[in-house]
Structure 1
Amino acid sequence: MGVIVQEQAGLFHLQSSGMSYLIQIVDGYPVHGYWGERLKHRETMGDLLIHTPARAGLDRLPQEYPQYGSGDFRNPAYQAELEDGTRITELKYDGYRILKGKPPLSGLPAVYTEDESEAETLELVLKDAYSGLKVVLLYSIFTARNVIIRSARLINEGDKKLRLRRALSASVDFSGHSDLEMVYLSGAWAREGNMKRRPLEQGETRIDSKRGMSSHQFNPFASLVTPETTERHGEAFGFSLVYSGGFEAGAEVDSFGSTRFSIGMNSFDFAWQLNPGESFQTPEAVMVYSAQGLGEMSRTYHRLYRTRLCRGKYRDEERPILVNNWEATYFDFNADKLVSIAEEGAKLGIELFVLDDGWFGKRDADNSSLGDWYEDRRKLPDGLADVAERINRLGLKFGLWFEPEMISPDSELYRKHPDWCLHVPGRRRSEARWQLVLDYTRQEVRDYIYDSLSAIFSTVPVAYVKWDMNRALTEIGSAALPPERQAETAHRYVLGLYELLERITTDFPHILFESCSSGGGRFDPGMLYYMPQTWTSDNTDAVERLKIQYGTSLVYPVSAIGAHVSAVPNHQVGRITPLDFRGNVAMSGNFGYELDLTKFTDDEKETVKRQVAAYKQIRGLVQQGDLYRLKSPFEGNESAWMFVSEDQRAALVYAFQVMAVPNAPQRTLRLDGLDPELEYEVEPGTGGEISIFGGDRLMQLGLPLAYEHKDYQSRWFRLRALKPGKA
């Protein structure tokens, strides 16, 4: 398995344990032959893949990296403008190379291998003889996973300047499918992760972000599925972009029923000058194939991203249970108030206290002080170190909130360096949340942020950082770039961010970093490379979180999903839900609390203590187990999911009913992922009678399920396999 080459037939067969991907060179063009379930490799395979010759028209050729201008009228994967202003290039095959393992990408986050035997990489070399443009297509296939990772490196080997106007990461033509549907995630602030599914028809179906961030509105992910595809059955072709800036992803169906899907950096307002000898690397697209529905596609992404994208000390460690003071105090706190919340947390078994916004500069509201990263001695007269040490003495670790990519016009930093924000000279500077965006294309700006944060990390025992980013990019220009490179600003911003994150996470490996962007505005694989978890949404309402967390799990592992219990009435929607219900939803992610624990009644504190103790027992399975989605909150009144250990001997089941149902029928919940040959003890999470069921019975007939006759009800169960012969 890996990459198999038949040079005479011009055939490249990328083969994993359960998948094949075929490329054939036809008249000098790399042509897509097949992507799907694994095929046996035969010497005669090339004869089966002969396509319409290129001379019959490129518009009918399913190309691997298509161009525009020579007869293909569909969306191209790239476009280059020559020095004379023309935009015609024609890439032809010029050789290949096979590498063991998977090489890193310079300056970009990327999936990695720990041993070169895990993957092989095919480099297809294409050249345009006229301009000197060379493109290297990279295909890395994981031999034990149904995963191909694609990117492109564009090199100017000519003697004149080139200007890239489009440079996507991957393009795939599906010639044998005429009835595909597209599944993707959409939403807005406080309602991220909504699963959408629509049939593809002639024309284009497109999602994108022009915001300089991956965005709340669309996630840089999509899957093509057949009409019969469900969670458990049918084919799914997943595309996920490892990038944190503006992106585009879309499917184009032509008049012959062929579908071209492409994904990469957004071409809108983008250009990149390539001088002779210079190169440009696209972000990588992670392509996953599943023959067992969307569920298996998701689990493939989860395992890959959890173990071969996330890095560092916390990649495989259980994440701490935290309490965050944001919804408890907002900006109104002092050191004693913070410590009082931590004291209650310590009594309840919580492990980490996080000080959110408002601790720096003169930050009494969200209209000032971003960029002034020094403690406010009015609120913390003895400084951050004193607060952190007092909290540490209680047995809790200390965490801190930052928004390092932003600057407030009302700040010492802005008064000193008004040119350090993204802006266009002479034009209005659009404020959002009374803040502007720092120009991360500039080294001196990144150095200032590094120095400010590292000064705190070196003197305060910070164990966790919540890295926030609360607005999109506007007036995207840089005072440090020449006119011909202004259209590079948005991408250079992202590259600058990655450079800073690499530096700071390398120098402070003991800190658990969590990404945030007003919740899920930048929940993408690029950020997971540096920060192994993300604050999923600012909406902490448990009912809304059923949808948000369910949808986010379509591509992202549970270990990346931050989920907190908050107070009621909920601060985003005003809903009042039981503490048990809120807890069970939040325990299905990286668990924590975001409220004032000192205001809880004794009964509520006992419930929290019970939740914390239970999560400590199960969090390894929640964070590292395989997720099976059982009932979709997008389809009805109930939701359910379960976590299964790798050896199938342990499982957790969570079930939720939003509104009470009068005269409800008897329910059963069909489980998934268990070993049909094993017997399982099934124990209700809140205690009660233990039952014994066979794995086959639980998956085929289901688990009996009943709710109290009230709104907002939840149940959870622990499953343990019996030793053979015990039953």
Structure 2
Amino acid sequence: MAIFIHGSEQLFHLQSGDSSYIFQIVSGSPAHVYWGKRLIDAPSLPSLFASRKTEDLDRLPLEYPQFGSSDFRSPAYQVRLPDGSRVTELVYQTYRLIKGKPALEGLPFVYAEDDNEVETLEVELADPYSGLSVFLSYSVFTEHNAITRSVRFIHNGSETLYLERALSAVVDFPDSEYDMLYLSGAWTREGQIKRQRVRSGTSLIDSRRGASGHQLNPFLALMDPSATEDIGNVFAMSLVYSGNFQAEAEVDQFDQTRMSIGLNSFDFEWKLEAGTSFQTPEAVLVYSCEGLGGMSRTFHNLYRTRLIRGTFRDARRPVLVNNWEATYFNFNAEIIESIAKTGADLGIDLFVLDDGWFGKRDDDTTSLGDWTEDRKKLPKGLADLAKRVNETGLQFGLWVEPEMISPDSNLYRSHPDWCLHVEGRRRTLTRTQLVLDLSRKDVRDYLYNLLSQLFKSAPISYVKWDMNRNMTEVGSPQWPTDQQKEISHRYMLGLYELLEALIVEFPHILFESCASGGGRFDPGMLYYMPQTWTSDNTDAVSRQKIQYGLSLVYPISTIGAHVSAIPNHQVGRNTPLKTRGDIAMMGTFGYEMDIRTFTEEEKKTVKQQIAQYKQLSPLVQNGDFYRLRSPFEGNETAWMFVSKDKQQAAVFYFRILAENHYVPKRLRLKGLDPKKTYTLEATGEAFGGDVLHEVGIALPLLHGDYVSTSFILFEK
């Protein structure tokens, strides 16, 4: 049993893993009591609210705060009524317990494979004046320090309402002694860790771009100011959604902190007619008393096993070679076949044909929407090319960008109204392309039929699904005037519907999400595609920060990481092949370069890298990940993987710039069994797990800039 309910006190105690989450009904309002280390269940906390003036909601820690009735902090929801007023007052009605975890209609969600692993509490609130009912859903995972929250609005009244704000989760903390941590960045600089003290007023991170975005990730954590990678309390929220979001930390006049996450209320509104409903995306709440490392491992285990689905959730991901940085748009069937043959000799599993294979696509100004082979480059089409690649021993994969349309395309000439646009207004071009209107069923049907035929036309085993621009002129003439603020969210619901149909029809295809790199690296996309192209920046030194930062939330099996050519195409840096390979081991390994140019010595190194990754892939994909040294704090980076049974570990160490007067150093490891003895594979030396934790392992003398080393340990 994970949920305890004390009826006379109207107290709800949720136990998830080693944590507790408690709230109580106070004069009809759900009030937050506690979130933290697991408590023994006992109804001993109601006295907290005994002296509260409940009519003054500004002082009460609320689970789902409203607008207009004495709480002056940011509300969780807001509704516009027929008379133009925005005041509603939700009052507790009842609750119900559900064994397992219900699905969210039309949205991605964390799932349960067995009803015994999750218990769900649904709390019903109602505003009698408007006829609005609100259902707060809490799903409690017994084996994880995680709770999922979402909200369903049902309009039981007779007149139309307009939902202007609908967050997924709010937690009110009784103090403000916290640091806030989040992920910031830009194109080619994703996943940068930002940490700062919370301050009076509101600290907001959000996206208004129609996608979760490169700039800010849908994740926010509050933590003890003294918390580190390994110790201290961390309270985190992650939103399972791929569109406009917001996350806030608001400190009020009483030094209370309100933490919230959900759909961005900017330019959002949803028409609720009588008898209709609205479902918010799901928020995942994670508590850790073991610092950021404990938080990350909870997210990793939960998302890897209960968010990602399908054949490739647990299967080894193929080592691939992508031709983009090798050829860009300039290739033909013979060039592709020669790359595939070289890849087969090196031990590569999969060839991926990137942009330029369709329409008249000799640059990025044309042909998006015309998903038929360019017969000048591929005279016998994709089926013949895939057959030639397969005959080398490699699987065949394909790049597509289905959500976009080029003005210079047959599709646009036939359907100029199919893009997002506002009648009579300029259509902003980014990368000389526009965004198809996925809020329209006819557009979604067209894409499904087209892509379904395409994926059947050749033996395709991998699809890289790209999205290279954000939304502008967000409008759709197909929808009424009073529903234009729904378009961004309806687009995302349409995308999810399309993806669900395709992955069901093609379960054998490994889908990888991409949005100019990490522009849509979020839990929502991982529900449909088990890995994401992390960044268009493939420089190994830049990738240390990018991959390290994203590992705060996302499993290593989701992080697309490749070895690329030098000088690096994005930053011009020359990095040793070994270092590039070691960085790419932290992710779904592959090569993004012309592998035909390797010297014999480089081929030998690459064969060793591929063999090593295939050996380590079960550990990398499914093991526990530990961050040892941060690239955000110095000249060194280190991380390691430990198998669930703690019998095997792999350690990677990187130094950016050479140091003079070098003194031999030791690297202290984490996650091993202190009672076990581990053997260093390279030398046969044996060390106790406690020694490796407290004393560390000696680092070799490394020469030059941008260098790395790695160790493999196994139980003796």
* TM-score normalised by length of structure 2: 0.99
Cα deviation for residue 470 of structure 1 reads 0.3
- Matched-pair contact (CA < 8 Å) for 2:19–2:145: yes
In the TM superposition, 1:413-492 aligns within 5 A as 413-492=411-490
Residue 594 of structure 1 is aligned with which of 564, 587, 592? Answer: 592
* 8 Å contact from structure 1 (residues 26, 51) kept in 2: no
8 Å CA contact 1:242, 1:286 repeated in 2 = yes
Q: How many angstroms apart in 2 are the aligned matches of 1:494 and 1:516?
A: 15
Aligned match for 1:338, one of 333, 336, 348? 336
Partner-residue secondary structure (3-state), 2:153: strand
- Offset at 1:181? 0.8
SS in 1 for 2:218: strand
Asked if residue 141 in structure 1 is aligned to residue 135 in structure 2, the reply is no
Name the residue aligned to 2:46. 46
Q: Which residue of 2 aligns with 1:131?
A: 130
Deviations 1:106-163 (A, max 9, x none): 0000000000010111101000011011100000010111101001001111111100
Report the CA distance between 1:104 and its aligned residue.
0.5
- Counterpart AA for 1:227: P
Matches within 5 A, 1:75-114: 75-114=74-113
Among 523, 541, 544, the residue aligned to 2:542: 544
Looking at structure 2, the residues matched to 192 and 372 of structure 1 have their Cα atoms a distance apart, in angstroms, of 31
More deviation in 63-72 or 41-50?
41-50
> How do 1:633-648 and structure 2 match up within 5 A?
633-648=631-646
Distance 1:87 1:48 in 2: 31
Find the partner of 2:185 among 180, 184, 187. Answer: 187
Summarize the alignment of residues 273-422 of structure 1 with structure 2, pairs less than 5 Å apart. Answer: 273-422=271-420
Q: Give the distance between the partners of 1:483 and 1:51, measured in 2 at CA.
A: 49
The aligned counterpart of 1:221 is 219
Deviations 1:232-282 (A, max 9, x none): 000001100000001000100011110001100100000000001100000
8 A Cα contact 1:27 1:53, kept in partner: no
Q: Aligned partners of 1:392 and 1:531: how far apart in 2?
A: 23
Q: Quick one: distance in 2 between partners of 1:460 and 1:50?
A: 69
Contact 2:235/2:287, CA 8 A, preserved across alignment: yes
Question: Residues 51 and 446 (structure 1 numbering): CA distance in 2 closer, same or farther, change over 3 Å?
Answer: farther
Name the stretch that deviates more: 664-673 or 576-585: 664-673
Q: 2:689 aligns with which of 657, 677, 695?
A: 695
> Once the 2 structures are TM-superposed, how far is the Cα of residue 516 of structure 1 from its aligned partner?
0.2
1:475-509 deviation digits (Å, cap 9, x = unpaired): 00012101011110000000000000000000000
AA partner of residue 4 (structure 1): F
**Contact 1:33 1:49 (8 Å CA) reproduced:** no
Give, in whole Å, the separation in 2 of the partners of 1:172 and 1:665.
48
The one-letter amino acid paired with 2:38 is R
Secondary structure of the residue aligned to 1:219 is coil
CA deviation string 1:358-393 (max 9, x = no partner): 000000000000000111000000000001000101
2:270 corresponds to: 272
Count of aligned pairs between the two proteins: 716
**Aligned twin of 2:163:** 164
User: How far apart are residue 51 of structure 1 and its match?
Assistant: 6.0
Alignment-mate amino acid for residue 261 of structure 2 = I
Find the aligned partners of 1:219 and 1:241 in 2 and give their Cα distance. 9
2:232 maps to a residue whose letter is: G
CA contact (8 A) 2:11 2:43 kept: no
Question: Which residue matches 2:30?
Answer: 30
2:710 counterpart (675, 694, 716): 716
Residues of 2 paired with 1:156 and 1:380: CA distance?
A: 55
TM-score (norm: length of structure 1) = 0.98
Match of 1:614 in 2: 612
CA contact (8 A) 1:678 1:695 kept: yes
**Residues 1:16 and 2:16 aligned together:** yes
| 1:48 shift after superposition | 4.9
Closer, same or farther in 2 for the Cα pair 1:713/1:51, shift >3 Å?
Answer: farther
Instruction: Name the counterpart of 1:725.
Output: none
Cα distance between partner residues in 1 of 2:258 and 2:585: 40
Report SS of the residue matched to 2:429.
Answer: coil
Q: How many Å separate the matches in 1 of 2:513 and 2:12?
A: 39
How many angstroms apart in 2 are the aligned matches of 1:48 and 1:447? 55
Write the distance in 1 (CA, Å) between the matches of 2:449 and 2:372.
Answer: 12
Per-residue CA shift, 1:283-313, capped at 9, x if unaligned?
0000000000000100000000000000000
DSSP 3-state at the match of 2:116: helix
Cα pair 1:92 1:128 within 8 Å, conserved: yes
Distance 1:74 1:241 in 2: 21
Q: Distance in 2 between matches of 1:680 and 1:146?
A: 30
Secondary structure at 1:232 match in 2: coil
| Structure 1 residues 264 and 361: CA distance shift in structure 2, 3 A | same
1:102 aligned partner, one-letter code:
K
* CA–CA separation in structure 2 for the residues paired with 1:331 and 1:26: 64
State how far apart, in whole Å, the 1-side matches of 2:419 and 2:522 are. 24
SS in 2 for 1:54: coil
Does structure 1 residue 657 correspond to structure 2 residue 651? no
Shift of 1:42: 1.5
Structure 2 counterpart of 1:54, one-letter code: T
Compute the displacement of 1:50 (Å).
4.0
Q: Which amino acid aligns with 2:106?
A: G
- State the alpha-carbon separation in 1 of the partners of residues 45 and 191 from structure 2: 41
Point out where structure 2 has 5 or more consecutive residues left out of the alignment: none
What is the SS of the residue equivalent to 2:662? Answer: coil
Question: What is the identity, as a one-letter code, of the residue corresponding to 1:243?
Answer: Y
Instruction: State the AA in 1 paired with 2:494.
Output: G
1:645-678: per-residue Cα shift (whole Å, max 9, x none)? 0011111000000100101222111100000000
Deviation at 1:588, TM superposition (A): 1.4
Instruction: Between 301-310 and 34-43, report the one with greater CA deviation.
Output: 34-43
**Cα separation, 1, equivalents of 2:247 and 2:216:** 10
Equivalent residue number for residue 7 of structure 2: 7
**Structure 2 CA distance for partners of 1:120 and 1:128, relative to 1, 3 Å:** same
Q: Shift of the alpha carbon at 1:47?
A: 3.7
For the residues of structure 2 that align with 1:609 and 1:121, how far apart are their CA atoms? 49
Q: CA deviation at 1:606?
A: 1.0
Measured after TM superposition, the shift of residue 17 of structure 1 is 3.1
| Letter of the 1:692 counterpart | A
Contact 2:229–2:293 under 8 Å retained in 1: yes
Q: Deviations over 1:508-538 (max 9, x none)?
A: 0000000000000000000000000000000
CA distance in 2, matches of 1:442, 1:153: 24
Distance of 1:675 and 1:610 partners within structure 2:
29
Q: Is this contact kept in 1: 2:664–2:701, CA < 8 A?
A: no
- The aligned counterpart of 1:74 is 73
Comparing 134-143 and 449-458, the one that deviates more: 449-458
Find the counterpart in structure 2 of residue 201 from structure 1.
199
What secondary structure does 2:516 align onto? coil
